[in-house]
Amino acid sequence: MALSRTAHIVTAYGEELDQLADDLARMGGLVETQLEKAIAAVVRRDASVKPDIKAREAQVNALQVDVEKRVLRLFALRQPLATDLRMTISALKIATDLERVGDLAKNIAYRAGDLAGYAPVSLTQQVERLGAIVIKQLREVLDALSSADVEPAVRVWHSDDEVDERYNTLVREMLLSMTEDSGLVGPGVHILFVAKNLERIGDHATNIAEAVHFMVTASPLVEDGKS
């Protein structure tokens, strides 16, 4: 993380901050692949990814514990100030968000197993498209975190509206086709849950964007006219 690169007199301190950033990036990478795999599994109605996703989930949880430990250590031993303080606090928040994203991705992958029992539904294409946008959001915000750039983080924050819009359209269309064809209710419910989870992941991505913004600029990310 660029922020922690400002030289510290005690090299071990800088090293610890670096390690924290490294942990977060690893977590991000894990969650990202988990999500990609989960969406692909839903599209292919492939239940075989379950064990893999489960193993990754355990890794993510372990990393979250690790991040928490590191943050505690930093507070106890180094009493971080200014940028370092914001970074440490943000790391704690981001780790929580990432862990939630991992959970949601796991849920999505589990739905793939349920969907495998039904005939293919044409609306999975829309789920795939929604998933692609959410993956892009997550990727951009993680890049912003790695490079400590505010501008892409703000962009992610703004484009969450797009995710919500697509989610709403999907729900509307799904409900419509479910009323027309009651055979669609079974898989439809699973698809709705997948879409809901994706929408939640989008929200977590905006949370991370806010944390990155705070970390870099020391001011919260707010905009007039948006609550």
Partner 1 sequence: MSNKRDSEAPLIRIRRRDTAAVAALGSMVLILFWLFGELGLLETVVAIATIAALSTFYYLTVRTTLNPLPDPASRREHEASGPDSPANAKLMLDSLPIPVLLIGAGGRIEIANPAAREFLGLGPVTGHLSAVLRQPQVLEAVSAALRGQTVDPVEYSMMAPVESHVRAFVAPVASQGDPAQPWRAMLVLSDETSIKRADRMRADFLANASHELRTPLASLAGFIETLRGHAKDDPDARDRFLGIMFDQTERMQRLINDLLSLSRVEMDEHVLPGGTADMAAIIDDVVDVLRPQITEKSITLSVEADPATAMGDRDQLLEVVMNLVENAIKYSEPGATVTLQLSNDLTRDQAERPGLLLGEGASRLTLAAPSSDAGDRFVAVRIRDAGKGIERRNLPRLSERFYRVDGQKSGPREGTGLGLAIVKHIINRHRGGFTVESLPGAGSVFTVFLPVMKRMPKTSQTPRA
Contact yes or no for 147/21 (Cβ under 8 A): no
Amino acid, res. 109: A
Residues from 193 through 222 that contact partner 1 (CB under 8 A): none
Q: How far is the CB of 192 from partner 1 (least distance, A)?
A: 23
Segment contacting partner 1 by CB under 8 A, of 30-38, 103-111, 166-174, 187-195: 30-38
Contact string (CB under 8 A) for partner 1, positions 146-185, x = contact: xx--------------------------------------
Look-up: residue for tokens 């800088």? 14
H or E segment and range at residue 146:
helix 124-147
* Three-class DSSP category at 226: coil
Q: Exactly one of 44, 78, 93, 139 binds partner 1 (CB under 8 A); which one? A: 139
CA nearest to 65, candidates 86, 95, 87, 35: 95
Distance, in Å, from the CA atom of 8 to the CA atom of 13, rounded to the nearest integer, reads 7
Mention every residue, 6+ apart, whose C-beta is less than 8 A from residue 33: 56
CA 45 remoteness from chain centre: 22
Mention every residue, 6+ apart, whose C-beta is less than 8 A from residue 49: 37, 38, 40, 41, 109, 112
Closer CB to partner 1, residue 22 or residue 165? Answer: 22
Closer CB to partner 1, residue 49 or residue 184? Answer: 49
Segment contacting partner 1 by CB under 8 A, of 17-25, 116-124, 158-166, 180-188: 17-25
Q: How far is the CB of 64 from partner 1 (least distance, A)?
A: 15
Q: Exactly one of 8, 136, 155, 196 binds partner 1 (CB under 8 A); which one? A: 136
Q: How far is the CB of 29 from partner 1 (least distance, A)?
A: 3
CA angle 192–136–121, rounded 5-degree value = 30
Q: Exactly one of 6, 18, 48, 62 binds partner 1 (CB under 8 A); which one? A: 18
Total residues in contact with partner 1, by rule CB under 8 A: 26
CA nearest to 187, candidates 131, 109, 116: 116
Query: Taking CB under 8 A as the rule, does residue 5 contact partner 1?
Result: yes
Contacting positions for partner 1 (CB under 8 A) = 1-2, 5, 15, 18-19, 21-22, 25-26, 28-30, 32-33, 36, 56, 59, 132, 135-136, 139-140, 142, 146-147
